[in-house]
Each structure stands twice: as structure tokens, then as C-alpha cells.
Amino acid sequence: MSDRIQSNSRLRRTACWALAWMFLLQVTEISSGAYALGTAVGDMRQSASLSGGTSCPRLTRFDVSTPGAINRQWSTSLGTSPASIKTADRSPDGQLAEIETAIQQSLAAWTGVSGAALTAASLGTLQRTAAAAACTPTDGMNSICFNQQDAGFAFGVLAFTRVVTADTLGEQLSPSTPPAAFVGEILDADVLLRPGDPNTSFATPAALALNPNSYDLESILTHELGHSFGFGHSGVWRAMMFPFAPPPGQFTGTRPTAGAPDAQLSDDDRTGLRVLYPDPGDFTHSGAISGRVLPANPLALPVAPAGVTGVFPAQVVAVDSATGAVVSAVMAGWSCSNPGPAVFDGSFSLQKLRVGNGQNYEIYAEPLDGPVTLDNVIYNLTSLCRNSVTDPGWPAQFACTVPAAAAPFSARIRPGP
């Protein structure tokens, strides 16, 4: 998962699909999903006791049933020629303390969301290591590295997160790591920031004003930690999980002052976290809007594999009618019923919406035709479909193929049944 540099400009586009929808107060199962959230398909070549018995995509997330089980460490090895991290305090101890504060603030942005079961108590103590190459995908330690070279740093990539998930129950990275409790469990998540580049540096919030050509360390870390907790990318402008970094010298989101360590999440980010880590005691965010996005003219669907009956994909957005704020967005396009596989019928499900007297939403659909494209929000098509091409020996009854992205059509909105 990676981020590319882009300025804060966006061409607003009109929705180009017919939208059929219905309103639900509560749902009990995720039957369709957003590429803003990671998914994984269980290995159906294995027995049902290992695969879970279904080829439906499952959300990727940590097991938060045990307090303190999500371990964390960061490497104190920092590039010095050139310096990749700029801090206000230049003393060795002060520099490390300032960077660690930025890390803790970035973690707190995700663990402080009401209605989510991911809390500060879910995390283990943040440790330090002097090893430069501490981001190893097989050690089960969730690490942050500032001075580790990696082939993932392609042109324009400021940072990326490498996430390893289980596709069978009981899967282990090594004999010393705990077994997976469910398909989709995150077993290892490492964040790497671009090192040793004379044209790229990062600054803590306290140092950003004096280093306007540096990228905001806290915005980058908060975004990448979102990936580590199970997010993909969001197509919502100004969301923390938007696929492009803010320009040098700028923050993601609105902050009280230029140096305030307060990397803001958007409502879309918070809603996604509640879906990934639902709190069974949260009755405030229990609403859902679901339906299908269909072409006004079915013949407009591109040539696609059998089973494609709806638009794939479309971004469906829920807006608070009173404030005009975007509260949630998902990528429509598929649904799945056990034992699977996924079918591409244009389904969407906006979940974990606030309910209450006078709470109303307006929804619209828009294409992924720029600046955010399908490639920006979903990088691994096998997270929705697996088949004999992606996985030799894959059972035919559980195979599917992700269709090509649909082109825009003319728009109209009609109520569903």
C-alpha cells in the first residue's frame, strides 16, 4: 500500500449511474463491502475447518479480543545523509522523544474513535529498537521504520504499509507467533517511510513551519497506520485514507494551530473503523443504507465475466442532510452469500451510520474516473476473487474473476423496492 504525491486540487464530477436503494435501520452481516476496507478470501483448497467454509471476502483486521495483544515497535535508526526526519529539538534524545510523540499521536487518532472496539487498551507498549531493518513481514511484530531501504519505494511513493493476513484459521508466520483466530486476521503490519532521498524529508508538527518543503510526519504516519489496522484507500477528499499525501508543508485535515499535534480523521475514516472493529455496545451508530448501483441501460455494461449484473465499481456517498458533511463512502459493486464466491451485482452497504430523531442522509454515486481511480483504492484483486489462475488447484465452484471497471453512463436516481 503506498501513497503518491498530489496537490490539493480536485475536479468535481457528476454522478453517472442510476442508483437503486433502500433504507435499513440495522444489518447483521456484511454482504458487500468497500475497498476502503481490506478484504481476504479464505483458502478453499483447504478443509472447511481451516478455510472457514466460505469464499466470501472477509474484512482484514487485528484480533482485539485480548487487551494489549497488538504489539508495536519503531526503529530509532534515522537517515542522516540526508536527514529524512526534521524535528524542532535537535538533541539526540529530544529528537527521538519528538518522533515518538508523533507516533503516539497518530496511534491515538485511531484508538480514540467512539463506537469502535479498537482502543488504546488494544495496543501493547510502544517499544524501540535500534535495528534499521526492523520491518520484517514474518516476525509478527508491527514495526515502523524510517531508515530501511525496500523495493516498494517506487517513484513517487513516500511511504507504504506491508500487511500480512491469514487465509486459513490457525495460520502462523512462524512457530513462535500466535495462530490466526479467523480468516482475514492481520498477522503482521509494518510501516516504512522513504529513506535516504535528497528530495524527500518529513517533519514533526512542531518542525513543519520551519521546514515547508518537508512532508508532515504525523499525517503520513496516521494514514499508514490506518492501512496497518485494515484500511485500504478512501475516495473521499480530505479523508485521512485518501490515496494522495498533502503537499509539503501542509497537514491532512484541519488543525487548531499549525503546530498542534492533532492529525484529524474524517467522519468517513471513523465510520470505516466502526465497521472494522464494531463495538457491540454502540447503539448510536447502528444505521445502514444498502442497495445496488445499476446502469440506466444494462447494455452499457462492458464485456465482463458471467455474473456481472451491476456497476463495478462506483463510490456511493452518504451526506448528513443537516450539515452537508460526508459521513461515509463505500465502493459499490459486489455482494456475497455463503459459501460464495462474490458476484458483481452493483451492491453497496453504508454501515454504522448515526441514528436518532431528525437524522437524515442524502446519498449519491460517482465514478472512479479521476483523480481517484480503481487502482488507487484496490491493489490486490485476489482480495475479492481467487481462481485457478491466481491459485493453482482452486475449486471451480468457488472461483470468480474481478471485472474491469465500468465506464460512466448518464445519471438518474430512482427509489428501490
**Fold (CATH) for 70-267:** Collagenase (Catalytic Domain) (3.40.390)
d(CA 102, CA 87): 10
Q: What is the pLDDT of residues 383-398, one digit of tens each?
A: 899 999 999 999 999 9
- pLDDT, residue 243, reads 87
Beta bridge partners of 292: 20, 347
Query: Cα separations (Å) of 168 from 161, 193, 229, 361, 395?
Result: 22, 30, 19, 38, 16
Average pLDDT, the chain: 84
Domain boundaries, the chain: 2-58+275-398, 70-267
Q: Pairing mode, if any, of strands 143-145 and 70-75?
A: parallel
Backbone φ and ψ of 51, nearest 5°: -80, -15
Quick check: helix, strand or coil at residue 319?
A: strand
Q: What pLDDT band is residue 248 in, cutting at 50, 70 and 90? A: confident
- The reported pLDDT for the residue numbered 254 is 64
pLDDT band for position 253 (cuts 50, 70, 90): low
Read off the pTM.
0.89
Per-residue pLDDT at 8: 31
Confidence of residue 255 (pLDDT cuts 50, 70, 90): low
Which range in 158-167, 231-240, 251-260, 380-389 is most confidently predicted, on average pLDDT?
A: 158-167
Tens of pLDDT along 117-150? Answer: 999 999 999 999 999 999 999 999 999 999 999 9
**Count of H helices and E strands in the chain?**
6, 18
Confidence of residue 30 (pLDDT cuts 50, 70, 90): very low
The secondary structure of 135-204 as a DSSP string is: --TTS---EEESS---TT--TTEEEEEEEEE-SSTT--SSTTSPPPSSTTBEEEEEEEE--S-TT--EE-
- pLDDT tens for each residue of 292-340: 888 766 665 655 556 688 888 888 999 999 999 899 999 888 999 999 9
Q: How far apart are CA 223 and CA 192, in angstroms?
A: 12
For the record, the C-alpha cell of 289 comes out as: 443504507
Please identify which residue in the block is written with the cell numbers 534499521: 132
Closest CA to 232 of 160, 320, 317: 160
How many CA atoms, within 13 angstroms, populate the side-chain half-sphere of residue 390? 19
DSSP state, residue 235: -
**Residue 396: its pLDDT value, please?**
97
Pick from 1-15, 100-114, 160-174: least confident: 1-15
Across 155-169, 265-279, 281-295, least confident range: 281-295
pLDDT in tens, 46-76: 999 999 999 999 999 999 999 999 999 999 9
